Every structure is written in structure tokens, then in C-alpha cells.
């Protein structure tokens, strides 16, 4: 059996982590022959709850789970880790302006970036989940200059999974029959779910999504709006934010990053822009990616972009530029 890998989850006493940790420890993400050492980070007031989570993980009696450390220390949590899944963040509260949210999270992710820079392996793969995820990811990478920028990503796989599910339901097929939907841009209500380049395996054979759905107005209207606003719809119904689906998306994201995408497939991840498709450089922007077996990725190139798509891609990029410019004001002068 392989040597254990060290995986850190922050916000580990929260509801997303509660839905996530079993899948990581059971081999669903990093493989059924890969032992895991978990480090679980949360704030001091959550330590009692976190120790309860540790007890449950122990009581699962999992073969691959070799060690669990629960801590409120960034140094303890990040030392020699191979993977960091940064779930913990300041949630937006009633009456809070977006600037206030960016300020609170800038301090959190600056601290975590500096901790990764000091204590984690330089090969660490960092997935930022806590919102605003794209900008939090950018701040984390900026404050961890010794770790390659391409080792940082943020979660837009939940949006991609939502898009797949909507198309599958519309066509009347299983979700795994829908391929290569794209999420462009920010994990926010400006994101652009794009069905123009994907396909569906139908009982009548492989078809483009547009040919399978046969409703262009829906794909350019209600479909986009539904995916953009799905998180809010879940909160309205549950009075809690998405947890089970977010955890599943984290698993999907990390599994693809660890093992690579399938031939002919791509996945959406928020990564550092290199200027592809005219998106400004040095934003964390969701692109379609192919991931290689060595865990490096490449942005899918050469996709034809319509005027309809271009307008929406630029709108979400503008929002990310505004978020970045605001959040950078809140970094300490030493960053």
C-alpha cells in the first residue's frame, strides 16, 4: 500500500465538511489504495464540535484513515500537507455589504496563504471552497508566493454539476449522459453556464446539447438563471446552504485533479487566468480544463465564442476585477 498523504480540511466542524470527510477517508477521492492522514482545522469556539466529528470518524473504523488531528493551529494543520481543502470562511450575514464580506475573508485567507507558504509542501494542491471563492483563492495564492499559482483552484464544479442535472432532466437522461458543460467566470450569480460546446449521449446516439434539448430559448434563458440562482434556491428551501451537493462537487473536483480527466472530457475549475479567451490575466476565473495524469492542467483552447457568450464572459470577469481590487485593499502591507 502507498505511503499516506496528508489532507487538510478547514471549517472542519461545519456542515459541508461533515458531508465531505467520510468520502475522503473512505477512498472515494484519492483512491481505494491510498492511506489518508487528516488534519482538521477550525476556530477555537468550534473545537468541542470538531472533537465530536473526530469521534465519528474514529467510529467509522475506516481502513485507509491512518491518523486524525483536530486543531485550531494553522501550523499544526498545514505542516507537510499534500492537499488543502479550504472550506471555512466568513459567511455573509444579514445587512452585510459585499465589501465587508471581502474584508473579513481577506484576513482569513491571507492568514491561511501565509500558513501554506510556511508549512505546506510546495507541491500542495489547494482547493478554495469558502465564498467568495474565486477572490479568496486569489488572495491565498498571492500570500503564498513559494507555491506555484497553478496549484491553486476554486470550486465551480458544483455549478457544473447543477448545469448537467438541469440538462439531463430536460432531455430525460441520466446526469452521466451529459458531457462538457462549462462554467465560465465567478462562482456567483454572474457565472456563465455554457451548454454550447457539450454533448448528450441519448438513446438515439450522441447529440449536441442544443440538438438534444431542442429549446434554444430555455438554454439561453431559464437554464442559465436556474444554475446561477440554485444556491439561493437551496437556502430558501432548507434554510441552510448547500452541503451534500457541495461536498460531492469537492470530491469530483479533487478526484479529477488527482487522477486526470477522461479522454475527450473536460471539467470546470476556477484557476489563474493566462489571458485565454481574452480574460484578464491574474484573475481566478472558471475555465474548461483538461487535467493530465501528472496533475497539471491545460485550459481547453479554440472553442468558438458567440457574441451572446462573450458578453456574459466579460460581465463575470468585470465582477472578479472589482472584487479583486476591493479585496487587495484589505491585505496587510507586508503581503
Give the active site residues: 187
Grid cell locating 13: 466542524
Exposure b/e, 223-244, CB count within 10 A at least 16 = b: bbebbbebbeebeeeeeebbbe
Grid cell locating 37: 492522514
Count of CA atoms in the C-beta half-sphere (13 A) of 214? 4
Q: Which long-range contacts (CB under 8 A, 24 or more apart) does 19-24 make?
A: 19/243, 19/244, 19/246, 19/247, 19/248, 20/85, 20/87, 20/247, 20/250, 20/251, 21/53, 21/57, 22/57, 22/60, 22/62, 23/247, 23/248, 23/251, 24/251
Taking alpha carbons only, the member of 197, 179, 205, 201 closest to residue 263 is: 179
Using an 8 Å Cβ cutoff, are 253 and 160 in contact? Answer: no
Amino acid at each position: 500500500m502507498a505511503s499516506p498523504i496528508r489532507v487538510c480540511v478547514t471549517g472542519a466542524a461545519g456542515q459541508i465538511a461533515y458531508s465531505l470527510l467520510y468520502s475522503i477517508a473512505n477512498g472515494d477521492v484519492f483512491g481505494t489504495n491510498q492511506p489518508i492522514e487528516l488534519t482538521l482545522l477550525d476556530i477555537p469556539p468550534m473545537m468541542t464540535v470538531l472533537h465530536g466529528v473526530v469521534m465519528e470518524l474514529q467510529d467509522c473504523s475506516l481502513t485507509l484513515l491512518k491518523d486524525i488531528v483536530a486543531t485550531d493551529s494553522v501550523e499544526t494543520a498545514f505542516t507537510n500537507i499534500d492537499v488543502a481543502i479550504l472550506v471555512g470562511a466568513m459567511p455573509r450575514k444579514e445587512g452585510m455589504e459585499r465589501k465587508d464580506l471581502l474584508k473579513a475573508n481577506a484576513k482569513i485567507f491571507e492568514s491561511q496563504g501565509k500558513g501554506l507558504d510556511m508549512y505546506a509542501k510546495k507541491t500542495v494542491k489547494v482547493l478554495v471552497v469558502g465564498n467568495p471563492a474565486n477572490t479568496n483563492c486569489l488572495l491565498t495564492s498571492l500570500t503564498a508566493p513559494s507555491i506555484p499559482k497553478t496549484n491553486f483552484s476554486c470550486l465551480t464544479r458544483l455549478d457544473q454539476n447543477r448545469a448537467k442535472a438541469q440538462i439531463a432532466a430536460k432531455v430525460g437522461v441520466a446526469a452521466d449522459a451529459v458531457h462538457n458543460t462549462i462554467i465560465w467566470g465567478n462562482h456567483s450569480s454572474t457565472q456563465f453556464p455554457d451548454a454550447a460546446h457539450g454533448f448528450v449521449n441519448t438513446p438515439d446516439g450522441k447529440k449536441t446539447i442544443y440538438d438534444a434539448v431542442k429549446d434554444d430559448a430555455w438554454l439561453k434563458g431559464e437554464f442559465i438563471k436556474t444554475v446561477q440562482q440554485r444556491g439561493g434556491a437551496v437556502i430558501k428551501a432548507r434554510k441552510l446552504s448547500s452541503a451534500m451537493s457541495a461536498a460531492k462537487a469537492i470530491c469530483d473536483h479533487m478526484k479529477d485533479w488527482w487522477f486526470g480527466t477522461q479522454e475527450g472530457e473536460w471539467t470546470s475549475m476556477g484557476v489563474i487566468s493566462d489571458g485565454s479567451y481574452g480574460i484578464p490575466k491574474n484573475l481566478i476565473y472558471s475555465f474548461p480544463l483538461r487535467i493530465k495524469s501528472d496533475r497539471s492542467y491545460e485550459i481547453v483552447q479554440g472553442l468558438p465564442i458567440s457574441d451572446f457568450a462573450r458578453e456574459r464572459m466579460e460581465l463575470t470577469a468585470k465582477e472578479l476585477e472589482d472584487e479583486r481590487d476591493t479585496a487587495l485593499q484589505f491585505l496587510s502591507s507586508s503581503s
